[in-house]
Amino acid sequence: MGLFKKTKVNIDPDRLPNHVGIIMDGNGRWAQKRGLPRYAGHVAGAKVFKTIAYYARDIGIKNLTVYAFSTENWQRPQEEVSRIMKVLEEFIDDALNTFEKEKVRIRFLGDTSVFTGVLREKMDRIVAVTDHFPGLTLNIAMNYGGQHEIVHGVQKAMALAQKGELQPDELTPDAFGKMLYFDDCDAVDLIIRPSGELRLSNFLLWQSAYAEFWFSDILWPDFKPAHLDQAILEYQKRNRRFGGV
């Protein structure tokens, strides 16, 4: 494990969570506390997102899924939604300039069919040029909702059944898991939610069946690599039984 960055705490590099999920929450409150408009929190949050993603790569995490925009977030004022989209586009622009150096595989999790035009082109481009990187896979959940993902899987299964290509008893949890947005989005081992909220907000509903949780009152723009260390360290102390003894 000499290749990877040493963390400040005693993380066991051989027992890292395979898949970490982060609900990047608290941007708005962070800005409001400073008398700034909410979008300033999204700008600050995007910087932290970049830092944490590359730090996760450096310590050897293989899969990171970040919740960037939910299917419910469209309810926000139009102005805020456009600002969030702009911040995401800026992240992709930056990644398009630096991907050869950063070597992170980037994908978008969610119903991305709603994205069109220039943003869509950039999304497709960053996915294509980073697809071969073997280290960290970064799934950016955009227009993502766990319930929508499950319904999408059910629709796929029904279409196969209608064509006679799937029998009801062939639809096992493993088979169904492959019908979600990605056929290789593994169970999430550790879900991190800052900002003090103790809920999933429609994040990775299927994949979180046996996830461990780490909650904190820190607002996302204040989140530091040391918090990720802490979360992983605590994760490594948990006794995961998966229903066994």
Binding residues for ligand IPE, rule: CB under 6 A, are 23-29, 67-70, 73, 84, 195, 197, 199, 201
Distance set, CA 173 to CA 67, 177, 178, 180 (Å): 24, 6, 9, 11
Q: Which is nearer to ligand IPE, 3 or 198 (CB)?
A: 198
Which of residues 7 and 41 has its CB atom nearest to ligand IPE in the complex? Answer: 41
| Minimal distance, residue 25 CB to Mg ion, in Å | 4
Instruction: Annotate 120-182 with DSSP letters as a single string.
Output: HHHHHHHHHHHTT--S-EEEEEEEE-HHHHHHHHHHHHHHHHHTTS--GGG--HHHHHTTSSS
Separation between Cα atoms, residue 206 and residue 131, nearest integer Å:
24
Q: Nearest 5°: CA angle at 220, between 23 and 106?
A: 55
Number of residues forming the site for Mg ion (CB under 5 A): 1
Q: Closest CB to ligand IPE belongs to which residue?
A: 28
| Residue 120 site contact among ligand IPE, Mg ion, none (CB < 5 to 8 Å, cut-off depends on kind) | none
Q: How far apart are CA 93 and CA 119, in angstroms?
A: 10
Find the shortest distance in angstroms from Cβ 167 to ligand IPE.
37
In the bound state with Mg ion, the residue whose beta carbon lies nearer, of 137 and 202, is: 202
Q: Which is nearer to ligand IPE, 73 or 236 (CB)?
A: 73
From the CB of residue 119, how many other CB atoms can be counted at a distance below 10 Å? 16
Min. distance of Cβ 55 from Mg ion in angstroms? Answer: 22
Q: Which residues are annotated as catalytic? A: 25, 73
The β-bridge relationship of strands 212-215 and 190-193 is: parallel
Contact indicator for 21, 190 with CB cutoff of 8 Å: yes
**CA of residue 217 relative to chain centroid, distance:** 19
Q: Smallest distance, Å, CB 117 to Mg ion?
A: 27
Q: Map the footprint of Mg ion across residues 12-41, applying CB under 5 A.
A: 25
Choose from ligand IPE, Mg ion, none: what does 79 bind? Cβ within 5-8 Å by kind: none
Residue ranges that bind Mg ion, judged by CB under 5 A: 25
